[in-house]
Structure 1
């Protein structure tokens, strides 16, 4: 996959004098040249001539603290003479106005601030709107993004050093907090949308909050590797890349900075995003033909004047990176196969600019073209996506394929069986069953009478009894993503009159991801996905036969080795996954400790689904959540698996098996036997079970 192909290389136009590009001297200024205030475009509320966009905090790259007098150098490392850039002085409250919350297309190609009108009149209206909502809050229909009088504040636990330079743990911490907050804001906005029909960008609001609240890392600008960000990492939002320092501009495709020391004034490129906005060519896994920015961008504004691209800002930085030979981080945008409207950003590692030229684009203007070659020796990332696409389209067969669908059509999506390790061609015999089998009555919960919704349950419907059972909030976002962990999550069941496609039935609709069971090198069979999985997405439930404690003890005393036991009575490592209420000034609500009405023990040895193949890890990427819904006129608890964070394709899925409370003595035999852990995590406990 990591060859040296250049078959997609586009040669320069015939007769073109490349010296016009290669010999251009750099701009004398170290930063983008903005017009004078009198010549500024009609964006009175925008920096550097005005205030930040209405409703957004002055985090980088929107501005510097008020203690700075000079205009900010947008290309320089964000450091003060004594340390990292301090946080903005003014306090921040999440935006609540119904004004423009979306970032529009980048009108000038620099991406360091967005042409977002925020006039003084609009700010006054926002203040009034916020006031009216606070009054409404007293009547029980308030905006949870405003201060509700709880007095809860959030203080970042990250030091100035951690904000400036990160590591893997810090990157995961930032991304988890960002997406948890985004999900909560999305939940609030979904409630409003059901009444107003207005859709807002929860990702931009969440990004503004985490940046202003210092939940960010790797803010020191640098060439090359970003500490804690690994090749193959995926991002569903540009703001995620901003928060971890991978790519600073919220929109622009080229991130750059000026050199330091020895009077070097050349701007150099730090990272680029190839997202299909221009005529980029990204068919080869190790070659990228990248189009410059500006001029005739792929704007939605059809009346916009077509112009040649200029050798300035990002374009000049890429040109100088060609001469300097510095490494450039490349992020590739790909379409999500699960939802065609979603774009996923894949960090593909380090590239070098190999060649540049200009050519005439589709609109008739001259555009800059840059050929970038991937630095050898890096693990595959975009190449994995290309291979999966070929498998799905039937252009190539999956190496090591044993079975196309081991579920025999039981699941909505086939689950393949793959072995690239040895010659084993079959699994130990078991009956595939997609849910739980209760062999006796375990219904210790009162029967649920369901909701009264005649169509699909709607977020914000205070009359929906299923929503009330979940604390008054719809537990999922509009696209089926779990918002936060619950002590017990209630879904609509067969007795509910709402439609089968109700979005409060997420865990009951079977497997939707393209999964494969594969042979691992040292831990038997495992499970992974061809599709990318976003944080909070449902993966599968743990299916099998429900047994009681007496049956479990009988198995253990008899020496039966049942490796497919799931037991809610085990001790599990606690972890924080839900959002921090203080980030949006809410009072603490749900406790993330589960409150299951009875001990649930499931054996998937003889009967089960794909959940039986998920291996243990002390640093898992999947967690389990108890879900209750009615079937056969009784309410039963099920175990559903959800993604902790974004999971790239072909990444093994793991969860924490926990440990028996009787294993404290460290027994390695009998009913208290421990299993040696081979997860390889830096936090490995050495055993499980």
Structure 2
């Protein structure tokens, strides 16, 4: 956060240890004595304590009914119509409602907070599950590829060998001669293929993640007519499975979400005063050839009789039943319907983005002969007044108003604040100040500046992998992270869940720069922009969509000992508190994905005392110094070790905790405890927070 000049959100006090909760903040004599006993005060520092804690998704029992529906569903040509009933976990406990339905790891984040926080926690949990299953699929596909290569090699060997011939072996190496039976087992007939040949036996990771959440009762089940708390008009989903996970649209396949007579018992009780079925939500995504969408006024084609193989043509008559009858009953009972529009988009792993466009009222319906000659039911819906304007009415709904080039930016004050040091230019804009000014007072560095007087730890030996590290059982670096790599290959590398520390491959490893276990070392991957705000000084946003788990930027500054940083006006100091986070000291939240450090890396005395080193970006640093605090951040802090294994000197990297749409401001939680900062007079200092989040604490410290 930029805090220069007289900005009201400036941080300008020294950070101290968290106040004793039993001591009232107004009594500061104890702290004044502590302050006077020191010749210099330690300035406040950004900490990596309050971060997102997605669930460590181990093997979770699956919901058998949902499993039967999802098994084998991988491509559109495999899809069949889903069950008539709303897809929910049967016999779910009554307390599994919006305020409680989050995974254990996200429960603290969701409980007692706003509906937005609960929804966000559920979505984060969904993507943690999703990335775990992506990793499983990557390993499975890697095994299939290896098996196929083995089959090809054996087939070539068989062709080369004539009938009755046997391989020639050097007598010196006769002990290496393979057993003839084993060779016969490996040899396959022409046309044969491994049983697990990839696509046919796979299941989409998002559907497997959904199965887990439904089977364990951690998916949200708001059971509401109308808008869902925590999901505003314009909210974007990146798959239908994600919508099911938060209870916004309870069919991962069908376009109509309705409550049927044979649905979940608790759900039926919630709608006991209505004539069932009733439709509560529809998805408009162009799947029916008879659809007509004018945004405010929609003619929606009912369900049934559609060719789900992909050509969208009717192949049968529709009936007034299930979702169609639900729409008719919604008309009769004046039940508003949530409308979600799907649009093709490359940023989504399913090729579509689904946007909530608000509530519509069914105003009429009729049956007619459709384009293909079959009976179809049509439903006219009109958008209710008094709602925010549509976002999907414009072509750029997923892109905002992203300029085509840097020269097109309004308020451009600097074309590249990095001066060419980053592989992607970072422009700066200012439409707030008059006259507009550019960021000043610092020198841009793309690598950590290490004083000559500071001795760095010895570099580790590294793994013996060649090319890219693919087998976690063979990679010595991966073993340090637990049972597997911390990342998946998807989207250029994404971390599955936050950890106290991640061990990456380093300069002495045998793998190349594209190795998945070097995800945070690949430089700037997204087009970032520094822009001026009215209340928070400088801020950072991305022109590109950033998927959850992606490495965004490393916090760069001058490496210093914390005892040497005594300037209370320096607001860009970041404590390297990896060890303290692991132990949960000073109110830091321990992470579910933690893996204990090997004993030779841990010194109990180091863990008990405060951070020994910090990154000072006051006079020199990178774009990360401009990223603001938020009480509901979309980034989290991750400590990473690669060159060495000294956690006191870990690299500090910011990762995406959510799917971040273009032009959304980037933010992370600075980690300050309330009433934890004293001024020069020993009084507790307070600083107003302007993050604007629904769960804002109103004070930064």
What TM-score, normalized by structure 1, do the two folds share? 0.66
1:186-585 matched pairs, under 5 angstroms? 186-197=134-145, 198=198, 199-220=202-223, 222-257=224-259, 265=275, 267-278=277-288, 290-300=300-310, 306-318=315-327, 321=330, 325-338=334-347, 342-353=351-362, 372-375=381-384, 376-378=386-388, 381-382=391-392, 386=396, 389=399, 391-392=401-402, 394=404, 400=411, 402=413, 405-407=416-418, 409-423=420-434, 424-440=436-452, 442=454, 444-458=456-470, 460-479=471-490, 480-553=493-566, 555-556=567-568, 561-569=569-577, 574-575=588-589, 578=592
CA distance in 1, matches of 2:101, 2:351: 31
Give the structure 2 partner of residue 81 of structure 1: none
Instruction: Answer yes or no: is the 8 Å Cα contact 1:432–1:607 preserved in 2.
Output: yes
Instruction: Answer yes or no: is the 8 Å Cα contact 2:85–2:259 preserved in 1.
Output: no
Q: 3-state DSSP class of the match of 2:259? A: strand
Change (3 A) 1:323 1:440: farther
What TM-score, normalized by structure 2, do the two folds share? 0.65
Q: Give CA-to-partner distance per residue, 1:131-166, whole Å, 9 cap, x none.
A: xxxxxxxxxxxxxxxxxxxxxxxx999556846999
- 2:29 counterpart of 1:57: no
Shift of 1:268: 3.8
Shift of 1:172: 3.2
Shift of 1:373: 4.6
Q: Which moved more, 1:647-656 or 1:255-264?
A: 255-264
Shift of 1:232: 3.6
Instruction: Answer yes or no: is the 8 Å Cα contact 1:352–1:372 preserved in 2.
Output: yes
Shift of 1:563: 2.2
Structure richer in helix, relative to its length: 2
Q: Which moved more, 1:637-646 or 1:595-604?
A: 595-604
CA distance in 1, matches of 2:363, 2:409: 33
1:646-665 matched pairs, under 5 angstroms? 646-659=659-672, 664=676
Q: Give CA-to-partner distance per residue, 1:201-251, whole Å, 9 cap, x none.
A: 23222222222222133342x320113333343333433322321011121
CA distance in 2, matches of 1:398, 1:179: 33
Q: Give the greater-gyration-radius structure (CA).
A: 2
Instruction: Answer yes or no: is the 8 Å Cα contact 2:361–2:381 preserved in 1.
Output: yes
Shift of 1:113: 6.9
Change (3 A) 1:258 1:664: closer
Give the structure 2 partner of residue 84 of structure 1: none
Change (3 A) 1:215 1:660: closer
Q: Give CA-to-partner distance per residue, 1:633-676, whole Å, 9 cap, x none.
A: x9963111112233344432221212389x74743668996644
Q: 3-state DSSP class of the match of 1:250? A: coil
CA distance in 1, matches of 2:451, 2:297: 57
Shift of 1:550: 4.1
Q: Give CA-to-partner distance per residue, 1:14-62, whole Å, 9 cap, x none.
A: xxxxxxxxxxxxxxxxxxxxxxxxxxxxxxxxxxxxxxxxx95256898
Shift of 1:489: 1.0
Q: 3-state DSSP class of the match of 2:241? A: helix
Q: 3-state DSSP class of the match of 2:142? A: helix
Give the structure 2 partner of residue 50 of structure 1: none
CA distance in 1, matches of 2:379, 2:78: 20
- How many residue pairs align between the two structures? 542
Structure 2: unaligned runs, 5 residues or longer: 1-60, 103-113, 146-197, 262-267
Structure 1: unaligned runs, 5 residues or longer: 1-54, 64-94, 116-154, 580-587
Q: 3-state DSSP class of the match of 2:463? A: coil
Instruction: Answer yes or no: is the 8 Å Cα contact 2:62–2:215 preserved in 1.
Output: no
Shift of 1:334: 3.9
Q: Give CA-to-partner distance per residue, 1:600-635, whole Å, 9 cap, x none.
A: 41222333222112111233232101112229xx99
Change (3 A) 1:161 1:235: closer
Change (3 A) 1:355 1:676: same
